[in-house]
Structure 1
Amino acid sequence: MEEMIEYMLRFGNLNKQQIDLVVSKAQPRELKKEDYFSEAGKVPKEVGFVVEGVIRGCYYNNKGDEITRCFISENSLVCDYVNLEANTSSSEYLQAITDCNLIVFSKKDWEELSHIIVGWDNIKNKMVQLCMYQKSRKGPVISQDATTRYLEFMENYPSLINRIPLAYIASYLGVTQQSLSRIRKNIR
C-alpha cells in the first residue's frame, strides 16, 4: 500500500484523512502468471496498481497473430482506461506474465473518490495520463532494424529482460523468436 500512496503523492497532495479514504477503497489482489486483469470483448471494471510483477498488453491482429503492445511493471497503473471510462468492450488483453500483486479499485470506488476528495481529479488525471503515455510510447519503432529495437528495449527495460519470456519480447519487437535469439547471440 505504501508504494501506491508514494506514487499518488508524486501527482498532488493528500492529507492523512484523504489517504486513509483512498486506502479504504483499495483491495489487494494476486494474479497468477497468465491470468488476465482485463480481457478483449469485456468491459473493464477496475483500475489497478502493480506492486509486484509484470503485466503485458496484447491483442490479436487480423491474421490471428498475438501481438504484445506494452509491458507494465512495478509502481505503475494498469487499466484499459479509455474503455473503462466509456463503458465499452476492450479490444486488448492485460495479462500477467509473472505472478503479480496488485492494489485494485472498482470503477465505482475509483469514481467515488472524485466526489469526496477535493483535488482527486487532478491527481487521477495525471496518473491516467502517465499510464496512457507509457502504454502508447512503449511500442518499438518498426522502421528501425531489429537489433536497434532490441538494444532500445534493453535500455528502456533493463529490469525486465530476464523476467519476460523471449516469445513476448520477440512479439513486442516484431521479430521471430529465432531472429531474437540471433540478435542476442550477436550482441554478447
Structure 2
Amino acid sequence: MKELIEYILQFGNLNPQQITFIEQKVTVISLKKDEYFSEAGKVPKRVGFVLEGVIRGCYYNNKGEEITRCLISENSLVVDYVNFEANAFSSEYLQACTDCRLILFSKQDWEELSQTIVGWDNIKNKMVQKCMFQKSRKGPVISQDATTRYLEFMQNHPSLINRIPLAYIASYLGVTQQSLSRIRKNIH
C-alpha cells in the first residue's frame, strides 16, 4: 500500500485522513500469468496499480496478428482510461505477462475519491496523463534497424528482458521471434 501512496504523493499533497480514505477504497488482487486485467469487447471497470509483475497492452491488427503495444511494470497505473471514463467498449487487452499483484480501485470507488477529496481531480489528472503517456508511447521507432530497437529496449527496460516471454518483446519491437533470437545471439 505504501508504494501506491508514494506514487500518488508525487502528483500532489494529501493529509493523513485523505490517505486513510484512499486506503479504505482499494483491494489487492493477484493475476496469474496470461490472465486479463481488462479485455477487448468489454467496458473497463477498474483502475489498477502494479505492485509486482508486468502487464502488457495488446491488440489484434487487421491480419489477426497480436501486437504488443506497451509494457507496464511496477509502480505504474494500469487502465484503459479513455474507455473507462467513457464507459465504452475497449479495443485492446491488458494481460499479465508474469504473475502480478495489483491494488485495485472499482469505478465507483475511483469516482468517490473525486467527490470526497479536495484536489483529487488535479492529482488524478496528472497520474492519468503519466499513464496515458506510458501507454501511448508507441513501440520503438520502426525506421531504426531491429538491432538498434532491441538495444534501446534493453537500455530503457533492463528489468523486463528476462521477465517476459521473448514473443512479447519481439511483437513490441515489430520483429519476428526468429529475428529477435538472431539479434540476441549477435549481441551477447
Q: Aligning the two structures, in what range does the TM-score lie when normalised by the shorter sequence?
A: over 0.9
Q: In structure 1, what is the Cα distance between the partners aligned to 2:41 and 2:140?
A: 26
- Supply the AA of the counterpart residue of 1:31: L
Helix, strand or coil at the partner of 2:130: helix
2:23 is matched with 23
- Structure 2 CA distance, aligned partners of 1:49 and 1:7? 9
Alpha-carbon offset, residue 140 of structure 1 = 1.0
- Are 1:85 and 2:67 counterparts? no
Cα distance in structure 1, aligned partners of 2:98 and 2:168: 12
Matching residue of 2:38: 38
Distance 2:178 2:115 in 1: 52
**Paired letter, 1:93:** Y
* SS state at 1:143 partner: coil
SS of equivalent to 1:42: coil
Gaps of 5+ in 1: none
Cα distance, 1:138 vs. partner? 4.6
1:67 is matched with 67
Q: For the residues of structure 1 that align with 2:101 and 2:138, how far apart are their CA atoms?
A: 22
**Structure 1 counterpart SS, 2:77:** strand
Matched, 1:160 2:160: yes
Partner residue of 1:134?
A: 134
Distance 1:98 1:158 in 2: 16
Counterpart AA for 1:136: S
User: Is the alpha carbon distance of 1:138 and 1:161 closer, same or farther for their aligned partners in structure 2, counting shifts above 3 Å?
Assistant: farther
Equivalent position amino acid for 1:10 in 2: Q
Alpha-carbon shift at residue 97 of structure 1 (Å):
0.7
In the TM superposition, what is the alpha-carbon distance from 1:105 to its structure 2 partner?
A: 0.2
Q: Which amino acid aligns with 1:108?
A: Q
Could you say which residue in structure 2 is the equivalent of 1:115? 115
1:45-60 alignment to 2 at 5 Å?
A: 45-60=45-60
Fraction of identical pairs, as percent? 81
Q: CA deviation at 1:15?
A: 0.5
- Structure 2 length normalisation: TM-score? 0.99
Equivalent residue pairs, number: 188
The corresponding residue for 2:170 is: 170
Rounded to whole Å, the distance in 2 between the matches of 1:96 and 1:138 is: 19
Give 3-state SS (helix, strand or coil) of 2:20's partner: helix
Q: Residue 3 of structure 1 aligns to which amino acid in structure 2?
A: E
Q: What's the C-alpha RMSD, in Å, of the aligned pairs?
A: 0.6
SS at match of 1:134: helix
Give the Cα–Cα distance (whole angstroms) in 2 for the partners of residues 22 and 142 of structure 1. 41
Letter of the structure 2 residue corresponding to residue 144 of structure 1:
Q
Structure 2 alignment gaps of length 5 or more: none
Measured in 2, the distance between the counterparts of 1:177 and 1:131 equals 28
Show the counterpart of 1:149. 149
Letter aligned with residue 97 of structure 1: C
